[in-house]
């Protein structure tokens, strides 16, 4: 697999992670009326990162 393709996958994954994290913060603020605690954000971001690795990044790496 080329370096360019690896960097492209990493870049797109970071953008997706940031978008999902921002959406989580917005939904959390709507339902609970306050910003989430930092530990909650860390846990949610780690879960999102693991899920995106197993369902998006890993299949793309194995495929190529």
Per-residue pLDDT reduced to its tens digit, 35-44: 888 898 888 8
* Contacts by residues 10-15 (CB-CB < 8 Å, ≥ 24 positions apart): 13/52, 13/53, 13/56, 13/57
pLDDT exceeds cutoff 60 at 56: yes
Q: What is the token pair recorded at 33?
A: 């009326």
Q: What is the token pair recorded at 4?
A: 């360019």
Domain count, the chain: 1
1-5, 18-22, 29-33, range with the lowest pLDDT: 1-5
Q: What distance, in Å, lies between the first and last C-alpha atoms of the chain? A: 6
Tell me the average pLDDT across 40-57: 81
Q: What angle do CA 31, 34, 37 make, to 5 degrees?
A: 110
Domain of 21, in residue numbers? 3-63
Between CA 13 and CA 40 the distance in angstroms is 21
């Amino acid at each position: 697999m080329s370096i360019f393709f690896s960097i492209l996958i990493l870049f797109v994954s970071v953008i997706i992670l940031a978008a999902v994290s921002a959406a989580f913060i917005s939904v959390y603020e709507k339902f609970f009326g306050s910003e989430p605690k930092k530990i909650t954000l860390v846990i949610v971001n780690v879960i999102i990162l693991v899920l995106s690795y197993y369902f998006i990044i890993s299949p793309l790496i194995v495929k190529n």
